[in-house]
Amino acid sequence: MAAHLKKRVYEEFTKVVQQQHEDLSSKKLRLTKPSKSAALHVDLCKATSPADALQYLLQFARKPVEVESVEGVVRILLEHYYKENDASVRLKIASLLGLLSKTAGFSPDCIMDDAINTLQNEKSHQVLAQLLDTLLVIGTKLPENPSVRMRLVEVACKHLTDSSHGVRNKCLQLIGCLGPVEKGVAKEAESQAAKDVQKIIGDHFNDQDPRVRTAAIKAMLQLHERGLKLQQAIYSQACKLLADDYEQVRSAAVQLIWVLSQLYPESIVPIPSSNEEIRLVDDAFGKICHMVSDGSWVVRVQAAKLLGSMQQVSSHFLEQTLDKKLMSDLRRKRTAHERAKELYSSGEFSSGRKWGDDAPKEEIDTGAVNLIESGACGAFVHGLEDEMYEVRIAAVEALCMLAQSSPSFAEKCLDFLVDMFNDEIEEVRLQSIHTMRKISNNITLREDQLDTVLAVLEDSSRDIREALHELLCCTNVSTKEGIHLALVELLKNLTKYPTDRESIWKCLKFLGSRHPTLVLPLVPELLSTHPFFDTPEPDMDDPAYIAVLVLIFNAAKSCPTMPALFSDHTFRHYAYLRDSLSHLVPPLRLPGRKLVSSAVSPSITPHEDPSQQFLHQSLERVYNFQHLDPRGIQELLEFTIRDLQRLGELQSELAGMADFTATYLQCQLLLIKALQEKLWNVAAPLYLKQNALASAAAKQILEETYKMEFMYSGVESRQVVIIHHMRLQAKALQLIVTARTTRGVEPLFGMCEKFLQEVDSFQRCFISELPHMQGSFVDKLLDLMPRLVTSKPSEVVKILQTTLRQSTFLHLPLPEQLHRATANIIEPTGESDNPLRFTSGLVVALDVDATLEHVQDPQGTVKVQVLYPDGQAQLIHPKPADFRNPGPGRHRLITQVYLSHTAWTEPCQIEVRLLLAYNSNRSKASTRIPKSTWSESLEALPPSENGIEGTIPFSKPVKVYIMPKPARR
C-alpha cells in the first residue's frame, strides 16, 4: 500500500514538474535563441529516469530548431549521449542527431567527427544502426566532399562484420548511397583504402540474413542509379540469388539482373550443363521469365513488369514466351489459337467443337519434351493466367511494350490479348483494350479475333465500351465480312446503349475511312438498294441509319466509284448530314452536284488559310479604327463581333480564337458605350438610367475578363496583361459610377485607395510588359500617379474619367493555340418526363456524366451546381477519381450528385450545370513568378486580389425532373 501511494505521489509530482517546465521553456524560446539548447540541457539534467529523458527528447523533437542553434543543440545531445546508460535514450538522441543535421542551411561537417566517435564505444546494435543512419544523413548532406564520404564508407566497412542484421543493413545502405562512383577522381584514396565498393557489397550477397542480402542488392542498385557501372561478374552471383528462399531477396535480385542485362546486353554467357553460349540479355530474359511463375506474387509482378522493358532480346526468345507446347497423353496438341488460325486459313468456318475435335495428332518424342524449360517458355501464358490481377495487368503492360517494339511479336501476342478481353476483372480488360489500341498499327485482326473483340461491345461498363470504340477506330480489318460484322455489332450496341451514339458514329467514321475498298462491296446491302425496285426511304433520324451513312460516306471519300451506288435519297441525306454532323461527314465529290463540290473541293486543302486570314483582317480593321467617329467605331465593333462569332461556329479549329477575340471586343464595345459623353453630361435626376447602364457594363466586363482569363487554355502572359488591363478599366468605370451616385466623400476614400493599390499591384506584376502598352489607360495612369496619390477622391474620379476616354484601345495579340473550355452534360439528358421520386429529407443520387474539353486541372476547378426551383443553389465538388482522361485535352466526369429537399406538392425541375471555379490567386499572373515555395508566391501576389474567387458556368444547364415526396408516417 505504502509503495503504491508513493508511486502515485511520484507520478503526480513528475507530472507537475513537466508542465511547469514546459511553460518555462516555451517562454525562453521566444526570448533568446541559444536558450533552446540551454533549455534542453536543463531538461536532460533534470530527468530522473530514462523514461523522463525520453519524454523530454520526444517533446523537443516536435519543435523546429533554428539553423544557428543546431550546432549547440547537437553538442548538448552528444554530451548527454556519452553519459546516458539507457539504450533507448541513446537511440533517440542518435535519431535526433540525424533529424537535426537535416535542418536546411546547416552544414553538418562540424559534427561528423563527433558522430563517428560515438560509434566506437557503442554496444547496442540498435543504437549503432541508428547512428549509421545519422551518418548517412550527414553524408547525403555533403555531396561535394569526397574525403568525408570516403571516411564514412570506411567506417561503414568496419561495421560490416557486426553480428546484428540491422547494423549490417545500414552499413550497406550507407555504402550504397555514399560509395565512390567515379573511379578516376579518387585514385590515391582508392589505393590507400584498397576498397572496391562493389566487391564489398558483393560479398554480402551471401550473408546469412535475408534482410542483409536484400540490403546488399539494394545498395548495388543504388550505386547503379548513382552512375557507377556495375561489373559483369555480379551477374552470376545475382543469378544464384534468384533461387533465394526469401521473396524480398528474389525481388531485388530480379531488378539487379534486369539492370545488368541493360548494361551488358551483348556480352556472351555460357549455358550451364552445355557448351553453348548465348547473349546475356537473352539469358537474363529467360531467367526473369522463369520468375513469372515464382511462388510469391510480389516477385511475379516485378518480373512481369521488367520483361516489358527488355527490348533488346532476340525475337526467337521473345516468341517463346507465348509458346507453351501443349501436349495430351504425350502427343503434341495444337492450341486453340492455332486451330482457329487453321480454320481461318482453310476458308472453313468453325462449326463448333466436337468431342475429340482437339484430338492430338502426332506422337512426340518423350525425350525431347522438356517440361520446365529454363528458357522463356510460356512466361506470358503463365503471367496472363495468374491468380492475382496485379500480375495479369503487369503482364499485359509488358506485352504492350514489347509488341510496340516488335511487329512480329505484336502479331503473335494478339490472340492472348484478345483472350484478356474476357478477364474477370474490369481493370484488366480495360488495360488490355488500351494495349491493343496502342499496338494496333502493327496488326490486322483476323475475323475470329474480331469476333471476340466485338463480343465485348455488349459489356455493361461504359469505360470498356468506349475503350473498345477507340480501339476499333484504329484497327485494321482484313475482310469485308469483318467490316460487316463490326457494323452489325456496333448497331447492336447502339440499340442496347443509345447513349453511346456519338462514340459509335465516330468509330464508324474511322472504320469507313480506313477501309474504303472493303466497304465498297457492302454498299448495296447496307443501303438496301435494289436494282429493280425502289426501296422505302429510311428514317433520317434513326441513329442506326445515320451510323451506316457515316461509314459509307467516309469510305466514299477515297473511293470515287461509290457514289454511283447511292440512290436519290442518299444524296439528300448526305446534304443534310454534311450540314448537321459536319465533324463526322467529310466533303464528297458527288456527281449530281458538280457546281457545289467544285467550289468546295479546291478549298479543301488550303481551307484554313482564308478563314485565318479573315480573322486577322477583321481584327486589323478594328485596331485601326482610331480615325473613325465613335458611331462608326461602335458599328464596326458590332459587325466584327458578329463575324467572329459566326466564324467560330463554322470553323471548329478557330472557335477558341474567334470567341476569345470576340469577347475582348465585346468588352471594349461595352466600355465605349458606357463612356459615351452624352450620357454623362445630363442632369442629375437622369443619372439613374445612365448609371444602370454603366454599372451593368462594368460588371459584365469584369465577368468577361474572368472568363477570358480562366476559360481558355493556351492563354499566354501577353494576353493576361491585356485582360487584366481591361479589368482595371472596368474597375475604374465602377469607381466613376459610384462616385457620381453616392453622396459624401467618406466611402470614396476607401474605394480610391483600393483602386490605387490595384494599379500599383498591376504595375508590379506586369512590369516587364509595360513598355508594350504605350498610350494605354494604365500607361497614362502611371504617369499621373504622383498626382493621383495626393489628390482628393473627386479629382481622382475626374482624372480617371478623362484618361479612360482618351486612352487607346490595346491590340490583343493572339497566341498560337487557343481553346475554349467546354463541357457537355451527356447524362442526365433532361428529356425524361418521369420525375425522380424520393422521400423528402433523404437523399437521391443523380448520375452525372459529362465530357470536358480543354480544361486544365479539372480535378481542382470543375464543380457541379444544382439549382432548385426555390433559388437555392448547391455546389458539389466531384472527387478527383471521378475524372477520367481519355485523351489529351479531354476529360470525362462521371460522378454522382446527391440531391435532397423538403417535400414538394408536385414534381418540378431542377437545373444541373457545370461550373469552372477560379481563384485569382491561381491566375496566370502568379504562375509566371517562379514558384519556389507556396508562401513566397503568396507574398508576391497583390494582397488586394487575394481573395477573389468565383465560378464561370461553362455548360448548358440540364433540367431534371424531381419529386420529393413527403415521408410516410
Partner 1 sequence: GAGQDVGRSCILVSIAGKNVMLDCGMHMGYNDDRRFPDFSYITQNGRLTDFLDCVIISHFHLDHCGALPYFSEMVGYDGPIYMTHPTKAICPILLEDYRKITVDKKGETNFFTSQMIKDCMKKVVAVHLHQTVQVDEELEIKAYYAGHVLGAAMFQIKVGCESVVYTGDYNMTPDRHLGAAWIDKCRPDLLISESTYATTIRDSKRCRERDFLKKVHETVERGGKVLIPVFALGRAQELCILLETFWERMNLKAPIYFSTGLTEKANHYYKLFITWTNQKIRKTFVQRNMFEFKHIKAFDRAFADNPGPMVVFATPGMLHAGQSLQIFRKWAGNEKNMVIMPGYCVQGTVGHKILSGQRKLEMEGRQILEVKMQVEYMSFSAHADAKGIMQLIRQAEPRNVLLVHGEAKKMEFLKQKIEQEFHVSCFMPANGETTTILTNPCIPVDISLGLLKRETVIGPLPDAKKPKLMHGTLLMKDNSFRLVSPEQALKELGLAEHQLRFTCRVHIQDPRKEHETVLRVYNHLKGILKDYSVQHLPDGSITVESILIQATAHSEDQGTKVLLVSWTYQDEELGSYLTSLLKKGLPQSTP
Binding site for partner 1 (CB under 8 A): 161, 208, 245, 293, 295, 324-330, 333, 335-337, 352-356, 366, 369-372, 378, 381, 384-389, 416, 419-420, 422-425, 452, 455, 458-461, 496
Q: Name the minimum Å distance from CB 517 to partner 1.
A: 29
In angstroms, what is the minimal distance from the CB of 400 to partner 1? Answer: 18
Find the shortest distance in angstroms from Cβ 287 to partner 1.
14
C-alpha cell at 237: 552471383
Q: How far is the CB of 385 from partner 1 (least distance, A)?
A: 6
CB of 42 or CB of 326, closer to partner 1: 326
Q: How far is the CB of 219 from partner 1 (least distance, A)?
A: 20
Of 80 and 382, the one with the shorter C-beta distance to partner 1 is: 382
For partner 1, give the closer residue by CB, 380 or 777: 380
- In this structure, what C-alpha cell is assigned to residue 392? 495479369
Question: 218 and 176 in contact (C-beta within 8 Å)?
Answer: yes
For residue 416, give the nearest of 389, 443, 380 by alpha carbon. Answer: 380
CA–CA dist 304, 289 (Å, integer): 8
Closest distance to partner 1 from the beta carbon of 166 (Å): 16
CA–CA distance, 438 with 442 (Å, rounded to integer): 9
- Taking the complex as a whole, how short is the minimal distance between the CB of residue 466 and partner 1, in angstroms? 15
Closest to partner 1 by CB, 464 or 952: 464
d(CA 177, CA 227) in angstroms, rounded, equals 11
DSSP string, 141-176: H-TT-HHHHHHHHHHHHHHTT-S-HHHHHHHHHHHH
Residue 110 or 336: which CB sits closer to partner 1? 336
Pairing type for strands 836-839 and 873-876 reads unpaired
Give 213 or 780: the residue with its C-beta nearer to partner 1: 213
Q: 503 to each of 62, 490, 509, how far by Cα in Å?
A: 56, 10, 10
Strand-pairing partners, residue 953, are 915
Q: In which residue are the cell numbers 486570314 written?
A: 613
The minimum distance between CB 325 and partner 1, in angstroms, equals 6
Using a 10 angstrom Cβ sphere, with 0-12 exposed, 13-18 middle and 19 or more buried, the burial of residue 766 is: buried
Residue nearer to partner 1 on the CB measure, 416 or 553: 416
Asked if 278 and 269 count as a contact pair (C-beta separation under 8 A), the reply is yes
Buried b (16+ CB within 10 A) or exposed e, 657-682: bbbbbbbbbbbbbbbbebbbeebeee
Under DSSP, is residue 130 helix (H, G, I), strand (E, B) or coil?
Answer: helix
Q: How far is the CB of 58 from partner 1 (least distance, A)?
A: 36
By the 8 A CB rule, do 450 and 418 touch? no
Which value, to the nearest 10 degrees, does the dihedral of the CA atoms of residues 882, 887, 891, 895 take? -30
Q: How far is the CB of 414 from partner 1 (least distance, A)?
A: 13
Q: Which residue lies nearer to partner 1 by CB, 324 or 506?
A: 324
| Alpha-carbon distances of 870 from 35, 877, 898, rounded to whole Å | 63, 22, 17
- Please check whether residue 466 is in contact with residue 503, taking contact to mean a CB–CB distance below 8 angstroms: yes
Q: In terms of CB distance, is 124 or 296 closer to partner 1?
A: 296
Shortest distance (Å) from residue 539 CB to partner 1: 25
Q: Which is nearer to partner 1, 133 or 390 (CB)?
A: 390
* Residue closer to partner 1 (CB basis): 374 or 757: 374
Query: How far apart are the C-alpha atoms of 616 and 637, rounded to whole Å?
Result: 14
Residue 480 grid coordinates: 469485308
**Sequence-ordered list of residues with C-beta below 8 angstroms from that of 739, at least 6 positions apart, any chain:** 748, 751, 793, 794, 797
Q: Which residues pair with 894 in a beta bridge?
A: 849
Q: How far is the CB of 398 from partner 1 (least distance, A)?
A: 17
| DSSP string over 405-425 | H-HHHHHHHHHHHHHHTT-SS
CB of 482 to partner 1, least distance (A): 17
DSSP per-residue codes, 590-618? -GGGHHHHHHHGGGTTTTHHHHHHHHHHH
Please give the grid coordinates belonging to residue 499.
447513349
Q: Which three cell numbers stand for residue 54?
A: 525520453
Instruction: Locate 255 and state its grid cell.
Output: 531488378
Which residue lies nearer to partner 1 by CB, 425 or 604?
425
- For residue 947, is it left (φ>0), alpha (ψ between -120 and 50) or beta? alpha
Looking at the Cβ atoms of 396 and 912, the one nearer to partner 1 is: 396
Count CB-CB contacts under 10 A for residue 854.
20
325 versus 506: smaller Cβ distance to partner 1: 325
Minimum CB distance to partner 1 smaller for 329 or for 579: 329
Distances (CA, A) of 20 to 17, 517, 897: 5, 91, 53
User: Which amino acid is it at 903?
Assistant: A
Nearer to partner 1, 329 or 746 (CB): 329
Q: Which lies closer to partner 1 via its Cβ, residue 389 or residue 571?
A: 389
Q: At what angle do helices 480-496 and 462-473 cross, to 10 degrees?
A: 150
Tell me which residue of 523, 534, 526, 520 sits closest to 568, measured CA to CA: 534
